[in-house]
Chain A
Amino acid sequence: MEFLELLNYYVIPGIVLGSIYALGAVGITLIFAILRYAHLAHGDLATLGAFIALAAVTSFGISPLAALPVAILATAAVAVGIDKVFYEHLRERPKIVTVMASLGIALMIRAVIQVVWGVDTQTYSRGIVRPEDYFGLRIRDREIYTIVAMILLVGFLQLFLTQSKWGKAMRAMSDNPSLALLSGIDNKKVVILTWVIAGGLCAASGFFLGLNTELKPMMGWHMLLPMFAGAILGGVGRVEGAVLGGLIVGIAEELSVLVIPSEYKAAMAFAILLFMLIVRPTGLLKGKVL
């Protein structure tokens, strides 16, 4: 096969898919680092974000990209609300209780989506988008938006975490919770902040999946495993690791079609997850040991 063909049909779609996974994996890794549990409702929260953007598109008649900030803000608010109503009461219990609760939340979110928006496949806009040609590379505008948005959002997050007082407080809480409390850092505010960020990124993840494919009530649930694989591959607690991990999982899924039947594409994430947990549980960038 020609090199350009490899790039156009496998690598570029892989980077786009990987960017979508990365946005979710960053939230998963933050929740893991600060709240110390696996958040299984992350995929369905992404679906919710995608459908909130659809609601904004259909009811206000705005363009999908203009609907993205609406979806980010609304989903962040929903994430904080879910934490207040459900997870907060389980804080002192064993973490597995919250993990199971988050599975229940996942089902609840999906049920709400099916009741409100129905079970049919929907799209932000109709019609076929032809890719533009850049020196032989064929890229659609929406693919560029996805990659650029991921880089911008994660870039802002990194700036926030390394430069601002509350961003550093989040890192301190991840690094050494008891010492953070001893230093007078307000755990409740850090938790709210974590949900705002994770929820917002999650909405962006779902939105871009919807923009590049279609909106389905199960779309986020199917992303859950690749997002976790990305977070663990990069090293739990590492934002840059989650981006790297998400990208690798996305590209690996697309490339896997070259050697295995495409129905088994989703198994790639599972294989990567299993391999990392056995061989190097701290991930590529030396995160926390699970």
Chain B
Amino acid sequence: MSALLNMEKVTGGYGDADILFDVSLHVDPDEIVVIVGPNGAGKSTAMKSVFGMLKIRGGNLLFDGDDITKWTPNRIVQRGICYVPQVDNIFREMSIHENLEMGGFLKKGDLSAAYDRIYELFPDLKERRKTAAGSLSGGQRQMVAMGRALMLDPKLLLLDEPTAGLSPKYMEQIFQICRDVRDTGVAILLVEQHAKQALAFADRGYVLAAGKNRHEGTGADLLADREVAEMFLGG
């Protein structure tokens, strides 16, 4: 199997109660995969399970040839998965450049190649590299958050609701950034509240409900599915 990430029938939760039940999904290299679903469906939980933030009681997580099911977040970061939380995902009082430097904290040696790569991806940030990240607009903050996560050259980027609280204009901007990131060879797994827009932009999607797989397919297929449409429009 050539999938970069393969989640096989994962069951687990934060404490004693399970939130996910036999959830399976996979992410191929160079692919944007979105997880959507109603509130409380376990979307974010499914993503956090990939990052070792969950007690997994059943199933397996395979990443790039390694079984990472029982790994700690710290080890997973160094193996090539970086995670951008939904809120508080920047160091507000530190400059953009310092945010990136902290992202590359674990990297040995010279960081200049990593800075160049990220400033090329986000030219807006380069101009304002000395600016405190907390003073930026919502869209730019998200760029800083993603830039911080990209400093370690991950193969897979996890984004938890990157467009939450942003206006439609910024939402489109964030999606465009995701495409740009993907085009540099980084796969993206993201959770989205704005299901319709997210399915329209992602390569593939998964619909979760009550902690279980409900639907999967390409974004277009899912949008065309009547049951999926009802879930988000009628629900």
Contact = CB atoms under 8 A, between A and B. Distances in A.
A171 B102 CA distance: 10
Interface string B70-101: 00011001100001010011111110001001
B6 to A, nearest CB: 23
Interface string B40-73: 0000000000000000000000000000000001
Interface string A175-191: 11011111111000000
A176 B101 contact: no
Contacts of B83: 182
B179 interface: no
Interface residues of A, number: 15
Given A168-B98, A184-B74, A179 B90 contact: yes
B204 interface: no
B106 interface: yes
Contacts of A176: 88, 90-92
A73 interface: no
B85 A185 contact: no
A169 interface: yes
Given A171-B93, A172-B94, A184-B77, A178 B102 contact: no
Contacts of A185: 102, 105
B37 interface: no
B90 A183 contact: no
A262 B94 CA distance: 43
Nearest to B101: A168
A84 to B, nearest CB: 22
B103 interface: yes
Interface in A192-241: none
A184 B88 contact: no
A184 B148 contact: no
Nearest to B98: A168
A183 B92 contact: no
A178 B88 contact: yes
Contact of B85 (A172, A175, A178): A178
A179 B89 contact: yes
B168 to A, nearest CB: 27
A17 to B, nearest CB: 30
Given A168-B101, A169-B105, A176-B88, A183 B148 contact: yes
A165 B102 CA distance: 8
Contacts of B91: 171-172, 175-176, 179-180
B103 A183 contact: yes
A181 to B, nearest CB: 8
Contacts of A175: 91-94
A16 to B, nearest CB: 31
A175 B92 CA distance: 7
Contacts of A165: 101, 105
Contacts of A168: 94, 98, 101-102
Interface string B142-157: 0000001000000000
Nearest to A177: B88
B85 A179 contact: yes
A145 B73 CA distance: 49
Given A172-B91, A172-B102, A176-B91, A184 B78 contact: yes
From B77, B94, B105, B106, residue with most partner A Cβ within 10 Å:
B105
Nearest to B83: A182
A183 B93 contact: no
B218 to A, nearest CB: 31
A256 B74 CA distance: 54
A184 B73 CA distance: 9
Ranked 10 nearest A-B pairs via Cβ: A184-B106, A175-B91, A172-B102, A183-B102, A175-B93, A183-B105, A172-B91, A176-B91, A184-B105, A185-B105
Given A178-B85, A179-B148, 5 more contacts: A168-B94, A168-B102, A172-B102, A183-B148, A184-B78
Interface of B: 73-74, 77-78, 83, 85, 88-94, 98, 101-103, 105-106, 148
16 contacts: A168-B94, A168-B98, A168-B102, A169-B105, A171-B91, A171-B94, A172-B98, A176-B90, A176-B91, A179-B89, A182-B85, A183-B77, A183-B103, A183-B148, A184-B74, A184-B77
